A and B are shown apart, each in its own frame.
Chain A
Amino acid sequence: TQLLEQSPQFLSIQEGENLTVYCNSSSVFSSLQWYRQEPGEGPVLLVTVVTGGEVKKLKRLTFQFGDARKDSSLHITAAQPGDTGLYLCAGAGMLTFGGGTRLMVKP
């Protein structure tokens, strides 16, 4: 059974701080996706990373896929209150998600 572990589970920071959240597995994935769920809404796809070592940037968000394609990280620079939400990762071939990181950015 493939499992994805996300850390930390909760993160509360001030506006302007930087942060990194992680998605780890013992399995190798051909690709991995990150989703963000804002309060009261369904999750929305942020990015798909495909190649080991790949780095993708989406404005202030930087996504990295591990060289061995077993892990991924999401780094947010100068977090804003609009970044508040639940961040979820999902691997290719998986119908389930990691447990998520719940981020709160305080003004």
Chain B
Amino acid sequence: NAGVTQTPKFQVLKTGQSMTLQCAQDMNHNSMYWYRQDPGMGLRLIYYSASEGTTDKGEVPNGYNVSRLNKREFSLRLESAAPSQTSVYFCASSALSRTGTYNSPLHFGNGTRLTVT
């Protein structure tokens, strides 16, 4: 089972360039999430999609946009990359939304390592 697949695995951008990080899950999950992890740090939520057709901001949404393309796919776009966006980006999915009292387990991809010079 593929689970959560992220592409690309690595990317180097120059300041001001744009790019889209792709994420797809094959578990028929309703909810999807984007997190960033800076060196030696925990995970910070950028955006999430509780269900197909909805998206909401997380803790650190500035400089990012997302699209829930369909139930399987949730993309993250950097319109004008900045060095402060150098990070490892993780996509995750859960069967049910975690915004209620559910503790639906999160399934993570293996990350996209982005460097902005």
Instruction: Report yes or no: A95 in contact with B33, Cβ–Cβ below 8 A.
Output: yes
> Number of A interface residues, CB 8 Å?
27
Given contacts A43-B43, A100-B42, contact A93 B102 (CB under 8 A): yes
Indicate if the CB atoms of A93 and B108 lie closer than 8 Å.
no
Decide: A41 and B110 in contact? CB cutoff 8 A: yes
Interface residues of B in 95-117 (CB under 8 A from A): 98-103, 105-111
B90's partner among A42, A48, A94 (CB-CB below 8 A) is A42
Q: Of B48, B110, B111, which contacts A95 at CB under 8 A?
A: B48
Contact across chains for A42 and B105 when beta carbons are under 8 A apart: no
Contacts of B44 in A (CB 8 A): 96
User: How would you classify the secondary structure of chain B's contact residues: helix, strand, loop or mixed?
Assistant: loop
- Report the bound CA distance from A100 to B33 in whole Å: 19
Check: B83 CB closer than 8 A to any chain A CB.
no
Contacts of A79 in B (CB 8 A): none
Q: Does A35 contact B (CB under 8 A)?
A: yes
Are the C-beta atoms of A92 and B103 separated by less than 8 Å?
Answer: yes
B42 close to A45 (CB less than 8 A): no
Other than the given A42-B108, A43-B106, A45-B107, 19 more pairs (CB < 8 A) read A30-B103, A33-B105, A40-B111, A42-B90, A42-B92, A86-B42, A88-B42, A90-B103, A90-B106, A91-B103, A92-B103, A93-B101, A95-B58, A96-B45, A96-B58, A98-B42, A99-B41, A100-B43, A102-B40
In the A-B complex, the 5 residue pairs with the smallest Cβ-Cβ separation, listed nearest first, are A42-B108, A92-B103, A100-B42, A31-B103, A99-B42
A/B interface sample: 5 pairs, CB < 8 A: A30-B103, A35-B106, A42-B90, A93-B99, A96-B59
